[in-house]
Amino acid sequence: MSGEAMNLTLRVWRQDDAEDAGRFETYNAPDISPDMSFLEMLDVVNEGIIADGGEPIAFDSDCREGICGTCSMVINGVAHGGQQGTTACQLHMRHFRDGDTITIEPWRATAFPVHRDLIVDRTSFERIQQAGGFISVRTGSVPDANATPVPKEDSDLAMDAAQCIGCGACVAACKNASAMLFVAAKVSHLSLMPQGQPERERRALAMVQQMDEEGFGNCTVTGSCEAVCPKEISLDFIARMNREYGRAILKSGCN
Amino acid sequence: MSLAHNIFNTSLGRKYLMALTGAGLFGFVVMHMLGNLTIFAGPAAINEYAANLHSLGPLLWVARLGLLAMVAIHIWAAVKLSAENKRARQVRYEGAVQPVDEDRKSEIVSRYASRTMIYSGLIIAAFAFYHLAHYTWKVPQINGVDADFEEFYVHEEDAGEEQVAFVTVLPEGKEGANGADVYRMVKTGFGVWWVSAFYVVAVGLLCVHLSHGLSAMFQSRGFKTKSTEKLINRFACTASWLLFIGYVSVPLGVLFGFVK
Ligand code: HEM
Ligand code: FES
């Protein structure tokens, strides 16, 4: 089923380091198979750049199967490209047409400073996780599956939230660079599980606090995050986080 | 971390404040429209309605101060949140959104109303200030006619004609003073085309603001889910249109002679 090879033009953001002002550069991407993934296409272009004695385009990737969340790039103005529920590494070149010009940019957010080319620093997400995205009860090693009963609806919802791979596309897509979809997924996931109860209030307060300190924006309910999320995390979780937060400030009171 | 800190100094706390004060202001906007519509029932109805409002005395001041507090909190939170949003995203993307199909594009790109909340809001605030100066403080220099609304009173001699059914209930000690002739004031005020035009534009912007705001406030307070979203959005859209029609009917009614 492999189709015709394509010739594409790439406009890629190049930036030498965090201090560099950066600029767009144009590259030809000849002879691209529609069966390649987007990252494989970039690999091919990089081979060409190296052969010509240039610096290859720096981009992040690890698993290349849509589960690690490192392949951060904005393709034609859309985080991870226009394909619904798909990471850049899982996006295939068959969605492009011969002769297309593709603009590739890094995530843009003050809380995600650009390291180099398409690579951004997302340790702000790590710090939010460290602020409360964990449980401290000892679950032991491989507990018996049914030792802690969880209602089916709750476990389903928790699983939906746990799908979040922390890629940062929600931040990249949001006009306010808000991290609320990410934080909502993390807060919701643990607050739905029995093991997450002891730190329930503390977690919501601490993660929101850290999110604010990192300089992310605020949700204005545009829905862009949900539309680009490769794991299709629902906006419902932001409403759930708002409830969790309201509950936490009431319960923690004036202390 | 105190309760006040968690409410006033955090993103989610301020979103709660936005949503609560927004809902309160929505309540005011609805009541105000219903009051305005009494003009179609004739001079007696609206003048009596106005006199009844004014006879509330201290209660009226409680309501006014409550409204003022809501406006202050709403604007304070709006300006703060919007400034943070600007700071959080300083670089725009060069690539134009051109996803696989149109439907997806409308989901990915934020809607006009949601993008312009701070601008529609600030224009509404400016209008509200003008509106107060126009009809509440009755500043004659800005009404565009050669009249001082301060002098529009229900006169005894009118009683025979236009003001037949109007009886002003005046507070203790003020008996004998005349009630304000709101009917004549509104009719004169909206007779000026540019005053009416500004009013229509401002009310239009208010309804654009609310077409997003009335839906967002459910999300901010955590009530919105995929199963209620459709209903909430329909409520936001319908309420905004009804408010728009209700409000603009008054100046248009005056301009086109439906208000006799
Ligand atoms: C009668 C007047 C007004 C009404 C009824 C109203 C109503 C609302 C409502 C219901 C919301 C949704 C709250 C939420 O996002 O959860 C909202 C949001 C907003 N309002 Fe107003 N508003 C009014 C005036 C203003 C004014 C004067 C400003 C000026 C600064 C303003 C600025 C905003 C902004 C920026 C938002 C978006 C907040 C966000 O999504 O983060 N509004 N408004
Ligand atoms: S490289 Fe792991 S999700 Fe794309």
Residue nearest to atom 3 of ligand 2 (CA): A66
Identify the CA nearest to B168 among candidates B157, B152, B179, B181: B179
Q: Which of B3, B5, B6, B17 to mutate to test the interface with A (most CBs of A within 10 A)?
A: B6
Closest-approaching ligand to the CA atom of B209 = 1
The pLDDT, as a whole number, for residue B170 is 45
Query: Hey, which of B18, B80, B118 would you mutate to test ligand 1's pocket, going by the most ligand atoms within 8 Å of its Cβ?
Result: B18
Cα(B18) to centroid(ligand 1), Å: 6
Q: Give B113-130 pLDDT, tens digit per residue.
A: 999 999 999 999 999 999
| DSSP code for A10 | E
pLDDT above 70: percentage of residues in chain B: 88
Q: Please tell me the distance from the alpha carbon of residue A57 to that of residue A32, in angstroms, as a whole number.
A: 17
Q: Give the residue on B whose Cα is nearest the Cα of A97.
A: B100
Query: Hey, which of B10, B73, B124, B127 would you mutate to test ligand 1's pocket, going by the most ligand atoms within 8 Å of its Cβ?
Result: B124
The pLDDT, as a whole number, for residue B174 is 47
User: pTM, whole model, 2 decimals?
Assistant: 0.90
The pLDDT, as a whole number, for residue B253 is 95
The pLDDT, as a whole number, for residue B179 is 72
Which tokens go with B173? 């000690």
User: Measured between CB atoms, does A187 come within 8 Å of chain B?
Assistant: no
The pLDDT, as a whole number, for residue B103 is 66
Domains along chain A with CATH numbers: 6-115 (3.10.20.30), 122-254 (1.10.1060.10)
Residues in CB range of A53: below 8 A, 6 or more apart: none
Most confident of A191-195, B41-45, B126-130: B126-130
pLDDT at residue A183 greater than cutoff 70: yes
Q: Where are the alpha helices (DSSP H) in chain A?
A: 38-51, 123-132, 152-162, 169-173, 180-191, 200-213, 224-228, 236-252
Residues in CB range of B14: below 8 A, 6 or more apart: A218, B7, B8, B77, B80, B81
Identify the CA nearest to A203 among candidates A108, A121, A137, A111: A137
Residue nearest to atom 2 of ligand 1 (CA): B25
Q: Please tell me the distance from the alpha carbon of residue A89 to that of residue A212, in angstroms, as a whole number.
A: 30
Cα(A61) to centroid(ligand 2), Å: 6
Q: How far is CA A169 from CA A155, A250, B3, B11, B96, in A?
A: 25, 32, 32, 20, 17
Cα(B96) to centroid(ligand 2), Å: 24
Identify the CA nearest to B25 among candidates B59, B72, B62, B58: B72
The pLDDT, as a whole number, for residue B178 is 60
Q: Please tell me the distance from the alpha carbon of residue A12 to that of residue A102, in angstroms, as a whole number.
A: 8
Domains along chain B with CATH numbers: 3-86+112-255 (1.20.1300)
User: Measured between CB atoms, does A225 come within 8 Å of chain B?
Assistant: no
pLDDT at residue A255 greater than cutoff 80: no
Lowest mean per-residue pLDDT among A81-85, A89-93, A176-180: A81-85
Complex-level ipTM:
0.91
Q: What is the DSSP string of A28-84?
A: EEEEE-TTSBHHHHHHHHHHHHHHTT-PPPP---S-SSSSS-----EETTEET-SST
Q: Which atom of ligand 2 is nearest the CA belonging to A68?
A: 2
Residues in CB range of A222: below 8 A, 6 or more apart: A174, A175, B110, B111, B114, B115
Under 8 Å between Cβ of A225 and A170: yes
Q: Give the residue on B whose Cα is nearest the Cα of A77.
A: B95
Residues in CB range of A215: below 8 A, 6 or more apart: A110, A111, A124, B87, B88
Average pLDDT over residues A102-123: 97
Which tokens go with B180? 């304000």
The pLDDT, as a whole number, for residue B181 is 84
Q: Please tell me the distance from the alpha carbon of residue A123 to that of residue B11, in angstroms, as a whole number.
A: 20
Q: What is the DSSP string of B212-248?
A: HHHHHHHHHTT---HHHHHHHHHHHHHHHHHHHHHHH
pLDDT at residue A254 greater than cutoff 60: no
pLDDT above 90: percentage of residues in chain A: 87
**Ligand 2-lining residues (CB < 6 angstroms):** A 61-64, 66-71, 87, 89
Average pLDDT over residues B199-214: 97
Q: Please tell me the distance from the alpha carbon of residue A186 to that of residue A132, in angstroms, as a whole number.
A: 9
Taking an 8 Å cut-off on Cβ atoms, the answer to whether A242 and B16 are in contact is yes
The pLDDT, as a whole number, for residue B44 is 83
Cα(A93) to centroid(ligand 1), Å: 43
In the block, residue with structure tokens 């746990």: A162
Q: Give B141-170 pLDDT, tens digit per residue.
A: 988 888 888 778 775 544 444 443 344 444
Q: Give the residue on A whose Cα is nearest the Cα of B97.
A: A77
Average pLDDT over residues A144-156: 87
Identify the three-state secondary structure at position A6.
Answer: strand
Average pLDDT over residues B105-111: 82
